[in-house]
Amino acid sequence: MSNSAGAGPRQHGESEQTRHPGQALKAASVASQSLAHDIPVYTNGMRIGLLGGSFNPPHLAHRAISLFAIKRLKLDRVWWLVTPGNPLKDNGALRELEERAQAARRMAADPRIDVTCLESVIGTRYTVETITYLRRRASGLRFVWIMGADNLAQLHRWQHWQRITTQVPIAVIDRPPQSFRALMAPAAQALARYRLPENEASRLADRRPPAWVFLTGLKLNLSSTGLRNPDGSWKT
């Protein structure tokens, strides 16, 4: 069924923009404003950490990981990329995106941490697509992808994971007891020769990928899964 009932038939070669130029301009303006809102403010040359996740719910470990990365990697900012959904997880109990984003902003509580729903605006589903977009749109920034050791253990299951490793340096935050499994996983083994010593972590953002570092020393070990009730609601 058509959604344009009553609007009259479209002539051959005629677009919606031609028939309704005012509406098209308004839509483009709204999209432009939305996109501007969802790419955090930056200055060329900044070192930006990217922490992606469902944040369902956001918790203290997200904040601790971000501040830890800022200190160890000498980052200017960390952007929390609140995803519409994780392709590798069951999203049935996922809260609404805006609710998760608002909760993330409350949890971040630091001017160096920006929360964005960029992926829902630009229509990306996979990390590789998001990174490709950001490198093209903000080419003057030096990005570092931040992940926990549990994600390194399954990185080889991510869409085009090898391409991700050639686009941005990666910082892996140790999450005991995941350390051994993560470092023995296929991705870590394949990238072993590109691993930096931990005492060179501050140089990671300046390194040409593939490059990664495994950071130890963060003792806080929480997970969003542990903060959800069996029905998917958030524990209070």
Structural contact between residues 150 and 180, judged by C-beta atoms closer than 8 angstroms: no
pLDDT, averaged across the chain: 82
pLDDT recorded at residue 115: 96
pLDDT recorded at residue 221: 60
Least confident of 41-55, 87-101, 113-127: 87-101
Structural contact between residues 149 and 174, judged by C-beta atoms closer than 8 angstroms: yes
pLDDT recorded at residue 176: 85
For the chain, give the number of residues.
236
Residue 173, strand partner residues:
148, 215
Least confident of 153-167, 203-217, 222-236: 222-236
Residue 114, strand partner residues:
79
Q: Is the pLDDT of residue 135 over 50?
A: yes
pTM of the model: 0.78
Q: CA-CA distance, 179 to 216, in Å (whole number)?
A: 9
Q: CA-CA distance, 173 to 218, in Å (whole number)?
A: 8
Q: Is the pLDDT of residue 175 over 90?
A: no
Q: Is the pLDDT of residue 142 over 50?
A: yes
Confidence label for 87 from pLDDT (cuts 50, 70 and 90): low
- Overall average pLDDT of the 11-24 stretch: 39
SS3 for 103-135 is HHHHHHCCCCEEEECHHHHHCCCCHHHHHHHHH
Structural contact between residues 100 and 55, judged by C-beta atoms closer than 8 angstroms: yes
Phi, psi torsion values for 112, nearest 5 degrees? -90, -5
* CATH numbers and ranges of domains, the chain: 45-227 (3.40.50.620)
The DSSP symbol for 231 reads: T
Encoded amino acid at 114, one letter: D
Torsion over CA: 101, 104, 106, 111 (sign) = negative
Structural contact between residues 126 and 87, judged by C-beta atoms closer than 8 angstroms: yes
User: How many CB atoms neighbour CB 153 within 10 A?
Assistant: 23
- Overall average pLDDT of the 136-162 stretch: 96
Q: Is the pLDDT of residue 99 over 70?
A: yes
Confidence label for 215 from pLDDT (cuts 50, 70 and 90): very high
Structural contact between residues 50 and 81, judged by C-beta atoms closer than 8 angstroms: yes
Confidence label for 59 from pLDDT (cuts 50, 70 and 90): very high
Confidence label for 94 from pLDDT (cuts 50, 70 and 90): confident
